[in-house]
Amino acid sequence: MMRCMEKSYDLTSLRLFVAVCEVKSITHAAEMEAIAASAVSKRIAKLEQLAGTRLLVRGRSGVVPTKTGATLLEHARNLIYNLDLIDRDLFQTAKKIRVTYESLPVHRQLRNSSPQRLHSSSPIPGTPASISNSRK
């Protein structure tokens, strides 16, 4: 496991590697990702350098992953999937907190109440009683 800590896998390179494997073409993957094919090739070469072996071979049906490439492909797909889950979950959490705070009629309470009344019913001294975090 320590050996992995010394290496730095670039997420963009992993995404490009997955795209190449899915379309079986560096050129087509480059077009899909709006990047030069030579840049994709360089990124794959860097991944091969990190892996210490070839990851892709040209076959009759296009570019196909080697055995090591297939292993990297599986892990890269899982990593990308998990990062997408993180992004989704963090967005949902942030959205939930934002909606909760924005939907509170605090401005009306501040207009219609004295500061002493707002602060006196709060469990935390100095904070309005109506503001709370809904993440429970």
Taking all residues of the chain, what is their mean pLDDT, rounded to a whole number? 79
What kind of architecture, by CATH, is found in domain 7-99? Answer: Orthogonal Bundle (1.10)
3-state class of 58 per DSSP? strand
Other C-beta atoms closer than 10 Å to the C-beta of 25 total: 19
Both structure tokens of 24: 């079986």
Taking only the tens place, the pLDDT of each residue in 45-84 is 999 999 999 999 998 889 999 999 999 999 999 999 999 9
| CA–CA separation, 41 and 53 (whole Å) | 15
Q: How confident is the model at residue 5, as a pLDDT? A: 56
Q: Tell me which residue of 23, 61, 60, 56 sits closest to 41, measured CA to CA.
A: 56
Q: How confident is the model at residue 7, as a pLDDT? A: 80
Total-model pTM: 0.65
For the chain, the structural domain boundaries read 7-99, 104-136
Please list, residue by residue across 58-75, b when 16 or more beta carbons sit within 10 angstroms of its beta carbon and e when fewer do.
eeeeebebeeebeebbee
Cα–chain center distance at 103: 28
Question: If you average pLDDT over residues 79-107, what whole number do you get?
Answer: 73
| CA–CA separation, 102 and 28 (whole Å) | 45
Is pLDDT above 90 for 17? yes
Name residue 128's amino acid: P
